[in-house]
């Protein structure tokens, strides 16, 4: 990467602060990160706060440095704002209604609000229903994060704050995965990651070019995993909304409080939550009436679970039957 | 997709001689010419584009499944999955128990949400940007690999080479970029890019607010048409149930009972009809039937099985002994006081013989007597271990009252499940199955048409009619919505409007005509239900034929109790019905007539009320006031005005509680004075100490006569004469006087209109009175207020959001043109 001249003296800059003396460079080059809960939370926090502040400001100004990553990250805003608006649409006006109509509308509105909440939670959480088993079974962590150090053009002549960090995933682009980050710096262990994956995939140990062997397979796994992850997370999210629509939730919604300074009420609401959650799960699964009306909950859950299971199976089975080798491995070749 | 350059190169390499020659040739390799182009869609191409997009989506899905998709294709999977998720939610909610139009609205909600998501950026950003800046910020292009993308999607990679100089300069002119600017194209491009970035950011900022609100507004707008469409569709579907009755009812036949009966017969052919077996057969035959029918069928089946006969054999003796032993232990008695030989001695010649019910009961008494005799004997011999009276009482209570010993002694029936009995049972089952299928069709028809459930045809029609009243009566919506808090306020408002309408003849005619049309419309929709209809395809005639036919068949099989439960008490022939009260047929018919009566009464009452106001306004047909003191006239008219608008069943039932002057001015017999529909009261409320006068029986009579007996206003009669409801209105007024006016009230026994009291049920009186206009409109005002309030909140917010978003265009794309150097 060609660095702009001005960045040489700002090597120790952080993207978060303004005073160069106080700042420490978190990363001075693109860096592979461990996929831990902490890393994921931090990345999400950074993305969300940046989307609401820096990227929004840059976008509204029409900055020449605005990029596609920032645009995509700003996609979080409609999700969050939309969820709140949706809750509001069903609840805000209810207090102006007559008591009976207000109570009726609130019962539906609060279930809708709960549905919006469950949609978001389940959509996020259930991605791991696919990615984690795939990681266990193949050794390929399709969610592996890395920090990308981005160099920008100065906005004005004296602009020295020209670096920022973007949170990416190694396999987020299937066309251009960041293979380079997966090589070990130690020359003797250069293919360590690829060796491990090759072994896990049953290609054997001590391969001459394990990286060349497994890259196409990893790519295939990453594509299949992503597809299953996307599809199943939306189905689980839908199941979450349907779960929120069960009547026993009304017991909790009537008792719900976040006033932790009133411990008695708060603890009571937690107890009711537990009871409502269990009763709602039973009601969702067992259903009522007959035919489709009775079994729709089971179908919904079954389809969501099946999408995760089949998705994992599709991602890990039949991976090695790949015949797209560009170079004949048995033939000697010259590389200039 | 374009050729893979490396592949081509390597393929060529393998086909040529190895050596330095090939390598030196690599300098000739250069990129293929780009094949990308801008996409210009028009409305006509939309269907083709949609098909193309769907085909691309399907291909993307297939490739992703095989692990061969690229980033663009995976992006498409996300869009598809999001829609599948939305559809799954709508689908699930549609399966839940809710009114039919709500089910459709789930789909409308799904479509409107995704529609709003797509429409908002086009409407609020793309269109204004195009109009103001001349830039299509959502321009799409197809790259060399055939992937369709947004032109300004990635600001760091915009394929400017796809846009001609001419087009760029046109946009530059529109953006007022100086024509003589050096590097004009680059400057215009930067300006376009800046505008696009700002618009894309604005999209992200506003979409979260706009999508749910737009979607909700669309749903709100669609609710009425959807309800109307679904209502009309269901009404037609319901009518079909009656018109195609012979074709439809076979589809409702459920032969489960018949099959179960066959199975029981296979297992118990020629076996004794034990109480358990009889119970099982009864349960099978009456499964799915109401209590009245079941009870009647059970009674008839008992007759069908013939008089009960039992056989006490060795096994019964063993069971008797074990039962006695068990009961004794439970009571705390250690000895049994009975053995098999004793039992045989008691029963003697009755063992292994057919016993009648009475004979079996006699055996029971003998066994009990012997046990008691043995206990008493034991007590006399062993006074220390004697069994006390309480224990003895408990023992026989458990033995006899709890039915343990009688059941054992009668456990071996002498009646058998013979083929002859089975033939009869099958005939009964077949008749009842056929009747049940037909009855289910009739029930479904009634549910769809007249049930007290959301979105039945009658409920929809009622809502449609009542929601039009505020406009019809010219009620100020703001005042109406304000009065939603209190029915009294609504009543006052209605009274003012009725007075205004009645004083304006043109308006009066217009309102009455509209009201007549609405009531006639209701009658047209309920034609199939009308109990007076004699058509063969009417609900009533089908109910008649279904119930009568079933009753006749059952009567032929001696199932007389069941036949009676269906059609009522009859003598000899089923056609000779003496009383149908309480019969299922009567219930089936009266449910409908009651539902219609309640609704019609409410609407006729409104018509009658308006007519009353008109008669007062014009002082015509008010004979009930003749020869009365003016003060009393004023009191009566005032009460009538209140009662017609606000009166409930309780007001009529208690013969009106009204505070009046106990000593009215009797000398002034002049007529009341009316101006603009309002009575100019000379005496009313001018005195203090007003009281209710329960002894003035004529007051109630005059009030009722004025409202319901005096002739309608000629204008009303004229308008009604052209309608189909003339006779119905006349009958309504007559019936009202009969059922409500002549009703007995213990506190005011002589307050009746006629000469004698009548005994209409409370329910009939309730239905005759109907819903008071103030209650009717108060509910409508509440609903209108809720809708308006919600629309004001979110519609207002949506409008402001749209305004701000559109206005922001004027702030976008601002760039300073580079200053020219002095040398330029």
Section B727-731 average pLDDT: 93
| B393 located within any domain | yes
Between B706 and A317, name the one with better pLDDT. Answer: B706
Range A73-84 average pLDDT: 94
Query: Which pLDDT band, with edges at 50, 70 and 90, does A116 fall under?
Result: very high
Distance between CA atoms of A263 and A160, rounded to whole angstroms?
52
Predicted pLDDT of residue A17 = 42
Cβ–Cβ < 8 Å for B331, B622? no
| pLDDT recorded at residue B341 | 83
Burial label for A21, CB within 10 Å (0-12, 13-18, 19+), is exposed
Cα(B545)–Cα(B246) distance, integer angstroms? 12
Do B517 and B610 have their domain in common? yes
Q: Quote the mean pLDDT of chain A.
A: 86
For residues A119-145, average pLDDT: 95
* Residues in chain B closer than 8 A to A224 (CB atoms): 64-67
Is residue B769 predicted with pLDDT exceeding 60? yes
| Residue B645: per-residue pLDDT | 95
Ranking B4-18, B75-89, B131-145, B543-557 by mean pLDDT, the lowest is B4-18
What is the pLDDT at residue B86?
94
* CB–CB contact A314 B88 (8 Å): no
Window 302-321 of A, Cβ < 8 Å to B: 303, 314-315, 319
Mean pLDDT of B363-390: 85
How confident is the model at residue B523, as a pLDDT?
Answer: 80
**How close A90 comes to chain B (CA, Å)?**
9
| Structure confidence at residue A2 as a pLDDT band (50, 70, 90) | very low
Of the candidates B71, B198, B211, the beta carbon closest to that of A174 is on: B71
ipTM at complex level: 0.87
Neighbours of B151 (CB within 10 A): 21
What is the DSSP code (8-state) at residue A107?
A: H
What is the structure's pLDDT at B455?
Answer: 82
Tell if the CB–CB gap between A303 and B93 is shorter than 8 Å: no
Can you tell me the distance from the alpha carbon of B456 to that of B100, in angstroms, rounded to the nearest whole number?
Answer: 9
The residue in chain A having the minimum alpha-carbon distance to the alpha carbon of residue B81 is: A231
Judge whether B810 lies within some domain: no
Cross-chain CB nearest to B71 (options A173, A234, A315): A173
Alpha-carbon distance B142 to B159, whole Å? 10
Instruction: Give B90 to chain A, closest Cα distance, Å.
Output: 9
User: pLDDT tens-digit profile of B745-755?
Assistant: 999 999 999 88
pLDDT digits (tens, 9 = 90+) for B208-248: 999 999 999 999 999 989 998 998 898 889 989 988 999 99
How far from the centroid of its chain's Cα atoms is residue B567's Cα?
Answer: 30
Interfacial A residues in 256-295 facing B (CB < 8 Å): 288-289, 292-293
Most confident segment among A12-21, A301-310, B388-397: A301-310
Taking a C-beta distance cutoff of 8 angstroms, is the pair B99, B90 a contact?
A: no
Provide mean pLDDT across the span B273-300: 88
Residues of A in contact with B70 (CB under 8 A): 174-175
Spell out a b/e string for B56-87, using b for 16 or more CB atoms within 10 Å of the CB, else e. Answer: bbeebbebbbebebbebbbebbeebbbebbbb
Expressed as residue numbers, the domain containing B2 is 1-31
pLDDT of residue B794: 93
CB B589 within 8 Å of CB B568 = no
Place of tokens 């008010």: B622
Contact B71 A175 (CB under 8 A): yes
3-state secondary structure of B660: strand
pLDDT at residue B50 greater than cutoff 80: yes
- B641 pLDDT higher than 60: yes
Entry field: residues in chain A: 336
The per-residue pLDDT for range A259-314, each reduced to its tens digit, is: 778 888 888 888 999 999 999 999 999 988 888 889 999 999 999 999 999 999 99
What's the CA gap between B719 and B773, in Å, rounded? 21
Q: Is the pLDDT of residue B443 over 70?
A: yes
Q: What is the pLDDT of residue B19?
A: 46
Closest residue on chain B to A67 (Cα): B155
How far apart (Å, rounded) are the C-alpha atoms in residues B632 and B612? 17
Using the predicted structure, report yes or no on whether residue B378 has a pLDDT greater than 90.
no
Q: How far is CA A62 from CA A59, A71, B139, B529, in A?
A: 5, 12, 18, 68
- Least confidently predicted of A321-335, B149-163, B647-661: A321-335
What is the distance between the terminal CA atoms of chain A, rounded to a whole angstrom?
22
For B257-275, the pLDDT digits (tens) are 889 999 999 998 888 888 7
Interface of A with B in 77-96 (CB under 8 A): 77-86, 89, 92-93, 96
pLDDT score of A1 more than 50: no
CB-CB neighbours of A227 under 10 Å: 28
User: Residue B620's closest CA among B702, B703, B711, B704?
Assistant: B711
Q: pLDDT confidence of B403, banded at 50, 70, 90?
A: low
* B192 contacts in chain A (CB < 8 Å): none
Q: For chain B, how many residues are written?
A: 824
Task: Flag whether pLDDT at B29 surpasses 70.
Answer: no
pLDDT tens digits for range B180-212: 888 899 999 999 999 999 999 999 999 999 999
Q: B365 with B470, same domain?
A: no
3-class secondary-structure state, position B824: coil
One domain, residues B345 and B373? yes
Distance (Å, whole) CA B564 – CA B552 = 10
pLDDT band at B744 (very low <50, low <70, confident <90, very high): very high
* B126 assigned to some structural domain: yes
The CA distance from A266 to B246, in Å, is 62
Helices (H) and strands (E) in chain A, counts: 11, 3
The whole-number pLDDT of residue B535 equals 59
Whether the pLDDT of residue B13 is over 90: the answer is no
Residue B620 has pLDDT above 50, yes or no: yes
Q: Chain B within 8 Å of A326 (Cβ-Cβ)?
A: yes
Give, as one character, the DSSP assignment of residue A207. -
Query: Starting at the edge strand that comes first in sequence, how are the strands of the sheet with B37-39 ordered?
Result: B37-39, B140-142, B148-150
> For residue B115, what pLDDT is reported?
94
- Of B514, B420, B446, B470, the closest CA to residue B723 belongs to B514
Same domain, B634 and B727: yes
Considering the domain boundaries, does residue B273 fall inside one? no
Q: Where are the beta strands (DSSP E) in B180-324?
A: 309-311
What are the tens digits of pLDDT across the range A197-212?
A: 999 998 888 788 889 9
Residue B566 scores a pLDDT above 50:
yes
HEC letters along B309-377: EEEECHHHHHHHHHHHHHHHHHHCCCCCCCCHHHHHHHHHHHECCEEEHHHHHHHHHHHHHHHHHHHHH
| Pairing mode of beta strands B569-570, B354-356 | unpaired
* Residue B315 covered by a domain: yes
State percent of chain B over pLDDT 70.
94
Higher pLDDT, A222 or B324: A222
Asked if residue B304 belongs to a domain, the reply is no
- For residue A241, give the nearest of B89, B208, B209 by CB distance: B89
Residues B288-293 have a mean pLDDT of: 87
Tell whether A212 is within 8 A of chain B (Cβ): no
Claim to verify: residue B15 and residue B62 sit in the same structural domain: no
For residue B646, pLDDT beyond 80? yes
B700 confidence band (pLDDT: 50, 70, 90): very high
Mean predicted confidence (pLDDT) in A157-172: 88
Which of A242, A319, A326 lies at the smallest CB-CB distance from B92?
A242
Same domain, B618 and B743: yes
Whether pLDDT at B623 is above 50: yes
Cβ within 8 Å, pair A293-B200: no
Please report the pLDDT score of residue B11 as a whole number: 59
Residue B324 tokens read as 């006695």
d(CA A207, CA A203): 8
Instruction: Specify the higher pLDDT residue, B435 or A22.
Output: B435
Between the alpha carbon of residue B67 and those of residues A71, A218, B53, the distances in Å are 27, 10, 20
Q: How far is CA B464 from CA A101, A131, B29, in A?
A: 19, 54, 76
Q: Do A235 and B794 touch (CB under 8 A)?
A: no
Is residue B18's pLDDT more than 50? no
Query: Which distant-in-sequence residues (6+ apart) come within 8 Å of B585 by Cβ?
Result: B543, B544, B547, B548, B566, B567, B568
DSSP assignment letter at B743: B
Reported for A63-67, long-range contacts at CB under 8 A and 24+ positions apart, including other chains, are A63/A155, A63/B197, A64/A153, A64/A155, A64/B155, A64/B190, A64/B193, A64/B194, A65/A152, A65/A153, A65/A155, A66/B155, A66/B197, A66/B201, A67/A150, A67/B154, A67/B155, A67/B156
Q: Is B242 within 8 Å of B526 (Cβ atoms)?
A: no
Same domain, B353 and B211: no
Our count of domains for chain B comes to: 4
B85/A234 touch (CB, cutoff 8 Å), yes or no: yes
How far off is chain B from A97, nearest CA to CA, in Å?
6
Decide if pLDDT at A332 tops 60.
Answer: no
Last residue of a domain, one of B195, B210, B226: B226
pLDDT tens track for B88-132 = 999 999 998 788 888 899 999 999 999 999 999 999 999 999 999
Judge: B10–A327 Cβ closer than 8 Å, yes or no.
Answer: yes
My answer on whether B459 and B373 are in the same domain is no
What average pLDDT does this structure show over B678-697? 90
Query: Are residues B469 and B329 part of one domain?
Result: no
Please judge whether B212 and A86 are an interchain contact, meaning their C-beta atoms are less than 8 angstroms apart.
yes
Contacts with A98 from chain B: Cβ below 8 Å: 484, 782, 786
- In this structure, the answer to whether residues B401 and B497 fall within a common structural domain is no
pLDDT(A147) > 70: yes
Residue of B91, B96, B209 with shortest CB distance to A81: B209
- Residue B657 is predicted with a pLDDT of 92
Output the average pLDDT for chain B.
88
Distance of alpha carbon B636 from alpha carbon B624, whole angstroms:
10
Nearest CA in chain A to B24: A336
pLDDT confidence tier of residue B158, bands split at 50, 70 and 90: very high
Residue B682: closest CA among B616, B624, B634, B629: B634
List CB contacts (< 8 A) between A96 and chain B.
786, 789
Query: Do B379 and B490 reside in the same domain of the chain?
Result: no
In this predicted structure, the answer to whether residue A127 has a pLDDT above a threshold of 70 is: yes
Q: What is the pLDDT of residues B489-529, one digit of tens each?
A: 999 999 999 999 999 999 999 999 999 999 998 888 777 77
Structure-block tokens of residue B405: 């010993």
Query: Which of A173, A223, A237 is opposite residue B68, by nearest beta carbon?
Result: A223
Of B66, B197, B216, the CB nearest to A66: B197
CB atoms A63 and B70 under 8 Å: no
Residue B743 pLDDT greater than 70, yes or no? yes
* Inter-chain touch A77–B208, beta carbons under 8 Å: yes
Same domain, B495 and B365: no
Please give the average per-residue pLDDT across B531-553, as a whole number: 80
B121 closest CA partner among B143, B153, B159, B78: B153
The percent of residues in chain B predicted with pLDDT above 90, rounded, is 52
Is the distance from CB of B556 to CB of B296 less than 8 angstroms? no
Q: How far is B26 from chain A (nearest CA, A)?
A: 12
CA distance B800 to B210: 11
Collect all residues of chain B within an 8 Å Cβ-Cβ radius of residue A296. Answer: 91-92, 95-96
B209–A80 C-beta distance less than 8 A: no
CB contact residues (below 8 A), chain A span 39-78, against chain B: 55-56, 58-64, 66-68, 71, 74-75, 77-78
């Amino acid at each position: 990467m060609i660095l702009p001249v001005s960045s040489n003296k700002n090597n120790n800059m952080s993207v978060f602060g303004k005073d160069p003396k106080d700042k420490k460079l978190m990363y001075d080059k693109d860096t592979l990160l461990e996929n831990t809960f902490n890393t994921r939370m931090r990345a999400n926090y950074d993305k969300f706060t940046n989307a609401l502040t820096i990227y929004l400001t840059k976008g509204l100004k029409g900055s020449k440095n605005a990029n596609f990553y920032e645009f995509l990250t700003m996609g979080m805003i409609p999700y969050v704002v939309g969820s709140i608006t949706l809750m509001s649409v069903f609840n805000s006006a209810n207090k102006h209604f007559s008591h009976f109509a207000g109570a009726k509308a609130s019962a539906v509105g609060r279930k809708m609000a709960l549905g919006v909440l469950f949609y978001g939670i389940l959509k996020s959480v259930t991605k791991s229903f696919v990615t984690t088993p795939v990681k266990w079974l193949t050794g390929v962590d399709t969610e592996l994060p890395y920090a990308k150090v981005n160099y920008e053009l100065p906005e004005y002549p004296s602009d020295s704050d020209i670096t920022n960090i973007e949170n990416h995933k190694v396999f987020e682009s299937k066309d251009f995965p960041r293979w380079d980050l997966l090589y070990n710096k130690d020359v003797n262990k250069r293919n360590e990651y690829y060796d491990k994956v090759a072994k896990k995939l049953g290609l054997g140990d001590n391969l001459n070019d394990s990286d060349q062997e497994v890259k196409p397979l990893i790519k295939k796994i990453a594509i299949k995993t992503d597809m299953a992850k996307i599809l199943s997370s939306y189905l689980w999210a839908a199941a979450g909304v349907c779960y929120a629509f069960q009547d026993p939730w009304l017991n909790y919604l009537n008792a719900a409080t976040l006033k932790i300074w009133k411990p008695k009420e708060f603890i009571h609401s937690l107890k009711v939550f537990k009871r409502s959650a269990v009763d709602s799960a039973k009601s969702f699964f067992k259903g009522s009436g007959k035919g489709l009306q009775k079994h729709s909950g089971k179908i919904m859950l079954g389809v969501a679970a099946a999408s995760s299971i089949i998705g994992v199976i599709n991602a890990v089975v039949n991976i090695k039957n790949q015949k797209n080798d560009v170079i004949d491995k048995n033939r000697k070749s010259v590389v200039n | 997709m374009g050729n893979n350059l490396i592949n081509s190169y390597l393929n060529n390499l393998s086909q040529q001689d190895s050596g330095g020659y090939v390598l030196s040739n690599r300098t000739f390799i250069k990129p293929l010419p780009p094949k990308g182009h801008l996409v210009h869609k028009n409305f006509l191409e939309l269907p083709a584009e949609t098909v193309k997009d769907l085909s691309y989506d399907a291909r993307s899905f297939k490739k992703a499944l095989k692990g061969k998709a690229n980033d663009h294709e995976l992006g498409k999977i996300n869009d598809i999955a999001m829609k599948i998720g939305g559809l799954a939610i709508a689908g699930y909610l549609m399966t839940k128990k809710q009114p039919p139009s709500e089910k459709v609205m789930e789909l409308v909600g799904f479509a409107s949400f995704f529609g709003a998501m797509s429409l908002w950026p086009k409407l609020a950003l793309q269109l204004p940007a195009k109009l103001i800046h001349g830039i299509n910020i959502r321009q799409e292009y197809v790259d060399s690999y055939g992937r369709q993308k947004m032109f300004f999607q990635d600001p760091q990679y915009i394929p400017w080479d796809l846009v001609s100089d001419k087009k760029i300069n046109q946009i530059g002119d529109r953006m007022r970029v100086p024509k003589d600017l050096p590097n004009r194209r680059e400057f215009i491009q930067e300006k376009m890019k800046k505008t696009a970035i700002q618009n894309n950011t604005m999209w992200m900022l506003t979409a979260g607010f706009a999508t749910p609100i737009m979607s909700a507004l669309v749903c709100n707008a669609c609710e009425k048409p959807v309800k109307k469409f679904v209502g009309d569709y269901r009404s037609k579907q319901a009518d079909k149930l009656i018109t195609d009755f012979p074709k439809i009812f076979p589809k409702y036949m459920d032969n489960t009972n018949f099959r179960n009966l066959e199975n029981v017969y296979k297992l118990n052919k020629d076996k004794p009809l034990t109480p358990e077996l009889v119970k099982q057969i009864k349960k099978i035959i009456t499964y799915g039937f109401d209590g009245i029918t079941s009870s009647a069928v059970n009674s008839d089946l008992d007759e069908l099985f013939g008089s009960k006969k039992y056989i006490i054999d060795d096994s019964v003796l063993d069971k008797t002994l074990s039962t006695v032993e068990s009961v004794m232990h439970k009571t705390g008695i250690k000895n049994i006081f009975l053995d098999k030989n004793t039992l045989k001695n008691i029963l003697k010649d009755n063992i292994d013989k057919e016993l009648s019910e009475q004979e079996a009961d006699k055996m029971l008494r003998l066994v009990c007597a012997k046990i008691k005799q043995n206990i008493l004997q034991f007590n006399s011999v062993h006074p220390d271990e004697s069994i006390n009276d309480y224990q003895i009482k408990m023992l026989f209570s458990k033995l006899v009252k709890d039915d343990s010993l009688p059941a054992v002694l009668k456990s071996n029936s002498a009646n058998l499940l013979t083929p002859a009995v089975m033939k009869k049972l099958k005939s009964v089952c077949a008749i009842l199955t056929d009747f049940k299928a037909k009855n289910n069709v009739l029930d479904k028809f009634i549910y769809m048409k007249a049930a007290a459930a959301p979105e039945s045809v009658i409920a929809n029609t009622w809502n449609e009619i009542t929601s039009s009243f505020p406009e019809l009566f010219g009620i100020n919506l703001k005042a109406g919505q304000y009065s939603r808090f209190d029915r009294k306020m609504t009543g006052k408002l209605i009274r003012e409007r009725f007075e205004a309408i009645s004083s304006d003849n043109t308006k009066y005619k217009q309102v009455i005509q509209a009201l007549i049309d609405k009531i006639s419309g209701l009658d047209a929709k309920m034609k199939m239900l009308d109990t007076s209809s004699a058509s063969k395809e009417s609900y009533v005639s089908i109910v008649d034929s279904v119930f009568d036919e079933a009753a006749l068949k059952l009567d032929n099989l001696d199932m007389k109790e069941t036949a009676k439960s269906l059609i009522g008490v009859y003598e000899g022939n089923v056609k000779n019905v003496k009383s149908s009260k309480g019969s299922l047929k009567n219930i089936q018919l009266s449910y409908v007539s009651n539902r219609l009566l309640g609704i019609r009464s409410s609407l006729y009452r409104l018509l009658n009320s308006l007519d009353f106001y008109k008669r007062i306004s014009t002082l015509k047909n008010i004979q009930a006031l003749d020869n009365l003191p003016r003060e009393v006239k004023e009191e009566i008219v005032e009460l009538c005005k209140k009662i017609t608008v606000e009166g409930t069943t309780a007001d009529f039932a208690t013969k009106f509680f009204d505070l009046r002057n106990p000593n009215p001015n009797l000398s002034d017999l002049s007529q009341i004075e009316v101006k603009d529909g309002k009575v100019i009261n000379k005496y009313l409320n001018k005195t203090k100490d007003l009281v209710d006068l329960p002894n003035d029986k004529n007051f109630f009579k005059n009030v009722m006569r004025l409202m319901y007996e005096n002739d309608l206003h000629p204008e009303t009669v004229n308008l009604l004469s052209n309608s189909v409801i003339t006779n119905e209105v006349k009958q309504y007024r007559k019936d009202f006087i009969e059922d409500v006016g002549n009703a007995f009230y213990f506190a005011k026994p002589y307050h009746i209109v006629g000469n004698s009291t009548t005994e209409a049920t409370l329910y009939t009186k309730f239905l005759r009175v109907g819903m008071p206009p103030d209650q009717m409109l108060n509910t409508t005002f509440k609903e209108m207020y809720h809708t308006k309030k919600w629309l004001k909140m979110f519609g207002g917010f949506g409008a402001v959001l749209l305004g701000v978003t559109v206005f922001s265009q004027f702030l976008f794309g601002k760039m300073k043109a580079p200053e020219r150097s002095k040398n330029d």
